């Protein structure tokens, strides 16, 4: 089963927290973006270097103040929700921020509300480093090497 197939299954089942173990983040992001286009889902990506990027928008149009802030990235997910749509927020290497109690709490809140809002937090990281508060909030899947 491909990454896209597994991800589609988890989104349809409303698992709002998805952790993808990946060593090829660009490949995984490309596969996720293709799935989102096919399904009509909105996609936003974030990393500490580039900040938030909304798929399908020009770089200048998707600039978000404070976008390099890991808390602001997750808080932006609420704004991506639509009444009848699905939104994915892909966070690259976000495992580096999970030692912060503020980050743990904002993720917990986003995942809890994401089930109803159809907003999904997807973390791309080479390892799984979940704090105890989030262990049951995330489903972990592998992105196989090409």
* Sign of the alpha-carbon dihedral angle for 100, 125, 89, 137: negative
pLDDT of residue 108: 97
Q: Phi then psi for 102, rounded to 5 degrees?
A: -65, -40
Question: Would you call 93 helix, strand, or coil by DSSP?
Answer: coil
Pick out the chain residues at pLDDT < 70: 56-67, 146
Q: How far apart are CA 105 and CA 42, in angstroms?
A: 24
pLDDT of residue 56: 67
At residue 61, the pLDDT reads 46
Alpha helix (H) residue ranges in the chain: 3-12, 25-39, 70-75, 77-80, 101-117
Are the CB atoms for 45 and 28 separated by under 8 Å?
no
């Amino acid at each position: 089963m491909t990454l896209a197939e597994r991800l589609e299954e988890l989104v349809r089942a409303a698992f709002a927290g998805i952790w993808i173990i990946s060593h090829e983040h660009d490949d995984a992001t490309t596969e996720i973006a293709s799935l989102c286009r096919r399904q009509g889902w909105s996609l936003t990506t974030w990393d500490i270097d580039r900040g938030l990027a909304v798929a399908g928008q020009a770089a200048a149009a998707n600039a978000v103040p404070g976008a390099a802030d890991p808390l602001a990235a997750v808080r932006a997910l609420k704004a991506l929700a639509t009444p009848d749509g699905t939104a994915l927020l892909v966070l690259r290497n976000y495992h580096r921020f999970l030692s912060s109690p503020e980050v743990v709490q904002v993720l917990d809140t986003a995942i809890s509300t994401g089930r109803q809002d159809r907003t999904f937090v997807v973390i791309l990281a080479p390892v799984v480093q979940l704090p105890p508060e989030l262990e049951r909030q995330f489903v972990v899947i592998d992105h196989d090497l090409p």
